[in-house]
A and B are shown apart, each in its own frame.
Chain A
Amino acid sequence: MGRIIVANRRGHQLVEWDADTDTEEAREGIVEAERILREARDKGCAVSKKVGGQHVLDDGGFDPYAEEYQIIAPIAGG
C-alpha cells in the first residue's frame, strides 16, 4: 500500500493506492495518485519520496511501489 501525504492547512491528508492488487479500483487509485503528483509539480510544488526510511526531495517519475510520497509547498520570500 502506497500513500501520498498531501500537506495542507488541515495538517495533512492522505491519498492511498494499492499496487499489489489487480482490480479496476486499484488501477484507478494508481492513476489518481500519479495525477495528483503531476498536478502538484506543475503548480510549483516539490515532492519528497521516502527512501530507506528517510524523506528526500525527488524529481523522478511516479513509482507505484514507493512506500510514501509527500507534496511539499512551493516557497516564496517575504
Chain B
Amino acid sequence: MVSFVEPLRALWRRVTAWDLLPTPGPEGSLRDGPVERPWRYYWDHLPKRTAGADFSARDYQQARQRAEEVARATLGDELWQQLMMDGHLDVPSHRYTGVTYRLRVGHRIEVVTAAGARSPWPYAYLCINPTYPLPELEFFAQLYLYARDREDTLVRVAAPQPWDQRLGRTF
C-alpha cells in the first residue's frame, strides 16, 4: 500500500509545484515568503468581506491600520481631509458630460448626474470589487486612481445595480 501511495503523493507535489491547478489564496500566500502576492491565486471561494480562515482578529485590525496609512499617502492630505469631512470623493467623468462618480469607502460607486445630463447606465450604482481581498480604505484609494486615470477600465467592468450595498471583496 505504501509503495502505491508514495508515487501518487510525489506526482501531486509536482503538479502543485508547477501551478497546473489554480491555487486558493490563503494557502498559496504561505508560499510567497514575507510579501504576499495575491494576484497569483484565486479568492472567489472566500465568504464575503473576509480575508481567509487563517486571518485572526488582530490580522484584520493591523491590515486596516496599514490600509489607512497607504490610502492617506495615495490620496494626499487634501483629498484625505475632504474624504473625512464629506464621507465621499467625487470624480468627474471625462467620458460622459455631467456625470460624476461618487466614491464611498466600502460601498458601490454612486453615479451622480448634473441637471439635464443623462447617465449611460440604467441604474445609479456601479458595483466594482478588487479580484482579491483588500481592506476597504486601501481599495477606496485604488478605485479613486482607476476613476481618475483609467475611466475606460472602470466603465468596462462596472456592473450597474439599482441599490447601494457594501462591497463583497473588501473588509
Contacts and interface: CB of A to CB of B under 8 A. Distances in A.
Interface residues of B, number: 46
B127 interface: yes
B35 A70 contact: no
Contact of A11 (B37, B131, B138, B154): B138
Given A43-B39, A75-B143, A11 B157 contact: no
Interface stretch (B5-13, B88-96, B145-153): B145-153
A77 to B, nearest CB: 3
A56 B135 CA distance: 20
Interface string B113-157: 000000000000011111111110011001101100110011001
B166 interface: no
Q: Which of A14, A36, A73, A74 has the most CB of B within 10 A?
A: A73
A76 B134 contact: no
Nearest to B154: A75
A26 B135 CA distance: 32
Interface residues of A, number: 33
A36 B133 contact: no
Contacts of B134: 7-9, 73
A65 B146 CA distance: 24
Nearest to A54: B76
A5 interface: yes
Nearest to A53: B76
Given A6-B35, A57-B149, A78-B159, 13 more contacts: A8-B35, A9-B133, A36-B35, A46-B145, A55-B145, A70-B70, A71-B39, A73-B142, A74-B130, A77-B128, A77-B157, A77-B158, A78-B127
